[in-house]
Structure 1
Amino acid sequence: MGESLNSFLEFFSKNSDDFMEALIRHATYVVTVTITATIIAVAVGVLVRRRPVAREVALGTTSVFITIPSLALFTLFIPVLGLGFAPSFVALLLYALLPIMRNTVTGLNSVSPEVLESAKGMGMSSTERLFKVELPLAWPVIITGIRVSALLTTGIAAIATLIAGGGFGDFIKKGLSRLGLPNSLEAIWLGTLGTIALALTFDLIFVVVRRFTTPRGIR
């Protein structure tokens, strides 16, 4: 056990620059995909929340995305976008939409009609009710969807290495391609543990953000 740990630490030390490069690329995927998916999914969720047919179409479409095998979805955009960041970003974005959109619709529809009637009685317009009443009350549910989406993106982003997208998947691919040779297992473990550590970091960030952005009365 001690020898294995020493071997792993030595491998990490020798590859620290590559590790930081992979960390930055992986984190970039998570941040950019989560922000973009949040903007799109919340906007669509707001538009379709009271339109049953449109809501089912939107949720059904994003549900289809998440059922497509990861490797197939990542390679699907290569003819148009080539290799690297762009096709990986688009594939991850499609996966990230469903949890946020579903939770947006659920959160908004869970707002009490009595509360909305009271806001309307106070003279609030539909836009004011949305931004001052509905979205704040639905926020705990929405941010839970964003949190799930970010963690999902963190895990799936490791596949980006198969289309030259970088990230921690590079270590896993390198280890698997040299399985049985020196440092192959260390490479796999480094990529895996890096992904897990990044996921836990983002999860902690969302716990803090949720606490400080949720109105005190509905925490």
Structure 2
Amino acid sequence: MAIAALSYRSRSLTAAANAVSAVGLTIPSFALIGLLIAPFGFGVLPAVIVVTFFAALPILRNAVVGLAGIDRSLVEASRGIGMSRARTLLRVELPLAWPVILSGIRVSAQMVMGIAAVAAYSLGPGLGGFIFSGLSRLGGANALPSVVVGVVGVVVLALVLDLLLVGLGRLTTSRGIRA
């Protein structure tokens, strides 16, 4: 979000941030995991790097869009009453952009659930281990139940996380801004 706060006032930096997030989201997560296994080996580290990379991109994009979409007259009015640039950002711009930023966080959370399951290929932790274990034993005993446990577990976690984020949005968004 700091990158978004630094770049949203400049058209070229906004375009660069949007381009980075667009290009980053086109990289297949499985391919990125494969690339990171070479330097970092199997384990938690490549899984965490991949999940963090993909989690940051929708948040960056929505933060830039949310901050850039604020009516300039509101910013000028806050500056006119003596607010500093930092205070205007914290007291006016971020609260107005918060619903858009939160939707980016929700998209990121949902996307990361699936990517974290795929990241289990690198022997990282998670429910993806059940999925890959079941797929490797396809046709064998308990293969299908193992896959189902992993998939249903990921879906349930994603739904619970989304409900928590919706609740966070209700608690942290001003009534006047809520749609």
Q: Please give the range of the TM-score, normalised by the shorter of the 2 chains.
A: over 0.9
The Cα of 1:61 is off from its aligned counterpart by 1.7
SS of 1:217 mapped into structure 2: coil
- The residue type paired with residue 135 of structure 2 is L
**Higher mean C-alpha deviation, range 145-154 or range 77-86:** 77-86
- The residue type paired with residue 65 of structure 2 is T
The Cα of 1:110 is off from its aligned counterpart by 1.7
Correspondence for 1:147:
106
Q: Which has the higher contact order (CA 8 A, sep 6+)?
A: 1
In the alignment, structure 1 residue 53 sits paired with structure 2 residue 7: no
Pairing partner for 1:211 from 159, 170, 175 = 170
Q: Aligned equivalents of 2:42 and 2:18: distance in 1?
A: 29
Using structure 1 for the length normalisation, give the TM-score: 0.78
SS of 1:123 mapped into structure 2: coil
In the alignment, structure 1 residue 100 sits paired with structure 2 residue 59: yes
Q: Aligned equivalents of 1:122 and 1:217: distance in 2?
A: 21
- The residue type paired with residue 204 of structure 1 is L
In the alignment, structure 1 residue 158 sits paired with structure 2 residue 104: no
Q: Aligned equivalents of 2:71 and 2:49: distance in 1?
A: 36
In the alignment, structure 1 residue 115 sits paired with structure 2 residue 56: no
| 1:112-137 deviation per Cα after TM superposition (whole angstroms, max 9, x unaligned) | 11211211111001011000000011
- The residue type paired with residue 67 of structure 1 is T
Larger Rg: 1
Q: Is the CA contact 2:50–2:119 (under 8 Å) kept in the aligned structure 1?
A: no
The Cα of 1:212 is off from its aligned counterpart by 0.2
The Cα of 1:98 is off from its aligned counterpart by 2.1
Q: Is the CA contact 1:158–1:167 (under 8 Å) kept in the aligned structure 2?
A: yes
In terms of fraction of residues, the more helix-rich structure is: 1
Correspondence for 1:62:
21
Segments of structure 2 that go 5 or more residues without pairing to the other structure are: none
- Poorly superposed stretches of 4+, deviation over 4 Å: none
Q: What is the total number of aligned residue pairs between the two structures?
A: 178
Segments of structure 1 that go 5 or more residues without pairing to the other structure are: 1-41
Alignment of 1:165-180 (within 5 A): 165-180=124-139
Q: Aligned equivalents of 2:92 and 2:62: distance in 1?
A: 17
**Higher mean C-alpha deviation, range 55-64 or range 152-161:** 55-64
Identity %: 45
Alignment of 1:196-207 (within 5 A): 196-207=155-166
The Cα of 1:166 is off from its aligned counterpart by 2.2
The Cα of 1:80 is off from its aligned counterpart by 2.5
- RMSD value, Cα: 1.1
Using structure 2 for the length normalisation, give the TM-score: 0.95
Q: Aligned equivalents of 2:23 and 2:75: distance in 1?
A: 33
